[in-house]
Amino acid sequence: MTKVVLITGAGIGIGAACAKAFAAEGAHVVVTDVLKDEGEATVKAITDAGGSAEFQPLDVTDTAAADALVADIEKRHGGIDTIVANAGIAHRVPIDELTDEKWDHTFDIDLKGMFRVIRPAVPGMCKRGKGAIVCLSSIMGVAYGWDEHVHYSSAKSGVVGLVRGLAVELARSGIRVNGIAPGYIRTAQLLSEEHSLGPKGAETAGDNIPMGRIGEGEDIADVATFLASEKARYITGQVITVDGGLLVGRY
């Protein structure tokens, strides 16, 4: 039976890498994003490689749209086996400019956006007695603070609580919930000079990582496929840091 995997924010970066990784393992991947062209490009890359995928536009701040999408996937495919809740933003905003609206916008996407997609899928997973959910946090949510990104760090810390709470509540239903806390990963977000390190900063960061490089999307995708697989059958409620040794290597 082909597994069905729903991934949010799968048009670019870590989400796109996860989509390709799950497809390479034989899953049918539902690629969602607000970025239509990028989402369709991810699907094309998968189908060109012989995989199975479809693009469905989704704004994770839209509860009705999330509910409708999950219902549609369940109707057409018989259920959702895995959710990778990845969609997120990380805008640089100094504290004196961090309005309620900017704070709420980040939480609406980075934390509540995950819940909006997970919540409607849980009843079907419970009915089938199985399911795997993987949520993307960040090292900025589990270990570091990040100046001018207080709202982002706070939301990503919230993801840890989301993972733990869901894991305990859903464990007896056969659903496992885990998270990944990426370190510095080569994505459009990281390479943005406006909101993050920028290209030069990214290379400097690589010099400070014990493994000598910043990560690639595939480094995270391989962990996501593992956490969703039978090989991780006794793992739930965990947030795995994937950072090339950055946290343990800071003296």
Model pLDDT for residues 27-51, shown as the tens digit of each residue: 999 999 999 999 999 999 999 999 9
Residue 15 and residue 84 in contact, taking contact as beta carbons nearer than 8 Å? yes
Q: Count Cα atoms within 13 angstroms, Cβ side, for 167.
A: 20
Angle between helices 150-170 and 100-110 in degrees, nearest 10 = 40
Instruction: Give the 3-state secondary structure of residue 201.
Output: helix
What pLDDT score does 189 carry?
Answer: 65
Domains and CATH numbers, the chain: 4-242 (3.40.50.720)
Is-catalytic flag, 144?
Answer: no
Tell me the torsion sign for CA atoms 232, 131, 58, 94: negative
- 152, 184, 234, 251: the catalytic one is 152
Mean pLDDT taken over the chain: 94
Instruction: Give the 3-state secondary structure of residue 167.
Output: helix
The percentage of residues in the chain with a pLDDT greater than 70, rounded to a whole number, is 92
pLDDT digits (tens, 9 = 90+) for 163-217: 999 999 999 999 999 999 999 998 666 554 554 565 666 667 778 899 999 999 9
The percentage of residues in the chain with a pLDDT greater than 90, rounded to a whole number, is 88
pLDDT of 160 > 90? The answer is: yes
Phi, psi of 215 (to 5 degrees): -80, 165
What pLDDT score does 192 carry?
Answer: 47
Cα distances (angstroms) measured from residue 114 to each of 59, 121, 160, 192: 11, 11, 12, 24
86-99 average pLDDT score: 96
